[in-house]
């Protein structure tokens, strides 16, 4: 046996369970928030943020509404939606066909797997990298 203490039985099971829990949590955090430095690719080269924002919000084309984003498979973390926005949603006061509503969700970091990077004004979407992109 080496100089290291051996962990056996219940202590081993507890240590393995704790390690697995930590790995799972770290994986969730990576999946949810890490962009792996892809901001320049998605924003600088592909200009995906311009298509998301749409012409009315400084981009190009019609923009991407929350309704369309959900149809395409994006998910929203309901726990990340700001309370005032959640209240307005519950009252039917949020236009889910308006790309401006998508930007509100992005700014709140409520869209799972993607991150919106905004300009200094806090309103202009400048990059839209996927946290778990295909690079």
pLDDT at 86 over 70: yes
Domain co-membership, 73 together with 120: yes
Domain co-membership, 26 together with 58: no
CA distances from 129 to 55, 116, 118 (A): 19, 7, 12
- The region of weakest confidence among 4-13, 47-56, 72-81 is 4-13
CB 57 within 8 A of CB 63: yes
Residue 114 lies in a domain: yes
Q: How confident is the model at residue 17 (pLDDT cuts 50, 70, 90)?
A: very high
Tokens of 48: 């995906």
> Which residue bears the tokens 């190009």?
60
Q: Give the pLDDT of residue 133.
A: 43
Q: Give the pLDDT of residue 47.
A: 85
Domain range for 59 is 35-127
Domain co-membership, 53 together with 99: yes
Mean pLDDT (the chain, rounded): 84
Domain co-membership, 52 together with 20: no
Residues 84-98 have a mean pLDDT of 94
pLDDT at 114 over 60: yes
More confident site: 9 or 90: 90
Domain co-membership, 84 together with 22: no
Domain co-membership, 88 together with 108: yes
Domain co-membership, 50 together with 108: yes
Pairing of strands 117-118, 111-112: unpaired
Tokens of 125: 């979407």
Residues 17-38 have a mean pLDDT of 82
CB 59 within 8 A of CB 53: yes
Domain count, the chain: 2
Domain co-membership, 46 together with 99: yes
Domain co-membership, 74 together with 22: no
Residue 98 lies in a domain: yes
Tens digits of residue pLDDT in 30-54: 776 676 776 777 777 878 889 899 9
pLDDT at 29 over 90: no
Residue 135 lies in a domain: no
Q: Give the pLDDT of residue 129.
A: 66
């Amino acid at each position: 046996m080496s100089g290291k203490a051996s962990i056996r039985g219940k202590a081993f099971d507890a240590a393995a369970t704790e390690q697995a829990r930590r790995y799972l949590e770290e994986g969730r955090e990576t999946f949810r928030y890490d962009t792996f430095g892809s901001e320049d690719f998605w924003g600088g080269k592909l200009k995906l943020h311009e298509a998301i924002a749409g012409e009315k919000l400084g981009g190009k084309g019609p923009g991407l509404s929350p309704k369309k984003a959900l149809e395409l498979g994006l998910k929203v973390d309901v726990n990340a939606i700001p309370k005032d926005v959640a209240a307005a949603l519950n009252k039917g006061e949020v236009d889910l066909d308006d790309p401006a509503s998508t930007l509100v969700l992005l700014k709140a970091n409520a869209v799972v797997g993607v991150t919106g990077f905004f300009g200094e004004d806090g309103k202009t979407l400048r990059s839209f990298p996927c946290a778990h992109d295909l690079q």
